Amino acid sequence: MRLLLPRGGGGRGLGGLRPLVAAALAVAILAGCGDKAGPKAAKTPTATPTPTPAETRSPAVAKGKARGDLAIGITEQNPNFFWAPGVRQGVAPEFVRWQDDMGRLKPSFYRLVLDWPSLQPEGGKPADLTHPYDGCLRGTPPCAGWAGVKDQLAALASRQKQHKGGWQVLVVITGSPDWAARPASGCERPGTQPRSRAPTASAMGAYRKLVGDVIALGGEVGVKLRYWSAWNEPNHPFFISPQRATCSTSATSLAAVRYAGLVRNLKRALDDAPGDQEYVLGELAGLDRSKTKSTSIREFLGALPTSIVCGSTILSQHGYITGINPVDDAARGAATHKCPKKHVVWMTETGVGAPHAGQDKRTSASSERRACRQLHRRLVRWYDDPRVTAAFQYTFREDDVFRTGLVTTGLERAFPVLREWQAWGGAARPAPTDPPPPRARCARAS
């Protein structure tokens, strides 16, 4: 189906803006395809860590790690894939058939994307956390609808009961509703929509209330929402526009200022809410070079206030296997602030396939196995890198425009990389400190 709005969702790689735009738009459309307490103690590295049982283990988080540690995460908006089998009746069989496979991923983390425009299209009214979605993929069947954030959290609760210590939630907010967006200004791309502009100062009360309402709903259904990201890909113009007042790379990045304001409001909301929540820095698009309409990882992090950078020890970064490995840029950018504690990196969007608009995924059996082996090598590299503690696959069901999923858009079959992710997160590797799979698991999946 032809889309009338820019497509949105997660930032990729790595070079020119055109590929980034397509990737950046995936989450917004997937989301809308239907109608603190004190600091934690640092983890003590050990030369030969002894894994704890899967039922009681805690996944690697942010407080430092030994070499050899990688937790696995997943992004997938449709809860009909991740209800624990048998919990929700009446789910379409095309989705039920994949629930066991989704469960065998045994992710330590789940990334929940809140598309603010679809949840709160009108100012002055509360966000609708039961907003219905038809569960199609850009209008493409098969479809299985759900009742907004409430169903997503309930499905997560069912998995957390099944997989103790797993499915911890990272919440990411994205997109300004029309009523909340700043007016057009500065160096913008043609066709920029209000959702791409940062929210106004007057909208920040509604932003904080959205955060509080979602935390309260999580409490009702029994899901703890500890980790929060203030905004998706703030260094990319689809998510914060304009990035600069004038179309020159010598102009100061406005995005860092806008993002810092969002983080301050997020922290205020988290501090006001009951429970133990913390913000995660970044969700940065994997841009290794600044351009007139975008901001590189290093420039963006360098421009942030030190209090914002040092207020979290988790730096979330996006980077796909066919592009650069952005870990050096992220770590060095944060290090310019000389924070008392070093950051660790969560790769909160990654995967293989075709993260560029219109790119051919090359879906022959040999190309799929080759991509799977690439993924294996990158995950091993991150496992060995003491700075990286988590990697999140984006997504489970493949978007036919942004093609990096684990199963086909029509849900007919899985790609080989599904088995590779299951090997990293499944029963054979119950703790993030366990050794990587000894070889890539790249047999063609059915």
pLDDT of residue 401: 82
Residue 18 token pair: 């055109």
pLDDT in tens, 257-307: 999 999 999 999 999 999 999 999 999 999 999 999 999 999 999 999 999
Burial class (CB in 10 A: 0-12, 13-18, 19+), 66: middle
pLDDT of residue 179: 98
pLDDT of residue 42: 38
Category of 75 on φ-ψ map: left (φ > 0), alpha (ψ -120 to 50) or beta: beta
Mean pLDDT of the chain, nearest integer: 86
Q: In the predicted model, is pLDDT for residue 183 greater than 70?
A: yes
CA distance 214 to 154: 12
CB 423 within 8 A of CB 354: no
Of the pLDDT bands very low, low, confident and very high (cuts 50, 70, 90), residue 64 is low
The pairing of strands 71-75 and 109-115 is: parallel
Residue 297 token pair: 């990882």
Q: Chain-centre distance of CA 217, in angstroms?
A: 20
Contacts of 428 (CB under 8 A, 6+ apart): 437
Higher pLDDT, 65 or 217: 217
pLDDT of residue 443: 79
Give percent of the chain with pLDDT exceeding 70: 82
Identify the helix (H) or strand (E) that includes residue 261: helix 254-272
Q: In the predicted model, is pLDDT for residue 11 greater than 90?
A: no
How many beta carbons lie within 10 A of that of residue 438, not counting itself?
A: 7
Higher pLDDT, 303 or 430: 303
pLDDT of residue 65: 62
Across the range 310-320, mean pLDDT stands at: 97
CB 72 within 8 A of CB 425: yes
Q: In the predicted model, is pLDDT for residue 378 greater than 80?
A: yes
Q: In the predicted model, is pLDDT for residue 227 greater than 80?
A: yes
pLDDT of residue 47: 34
Instruction: Quickly tell me which residue has 């789910």 as its tokens.
Output: 91
Exposure b/e, 113-146, CB count within 10 A at least 16 = b: bbbbbbbbeeeeeebbbebebebbbbeeebbbbb
pLDDT of residue 360: 61
Q: Give the relative orientation of helices 416-425 and 365-384 as an angle to the nearest 10 degrees.
A: 20
pTM of the model: 0.87
Contacts of 84 (CB under 8 A, 6+ apart): 99, 103, 155, 158, 159, 161, 162
Based on its alpha-carbon atoms, the radius of gyration of the chain, rounded to whole angstroms, reads 20
Q: In the predicted model, is pLDDT for residue 242 greater than 90?
A: yes
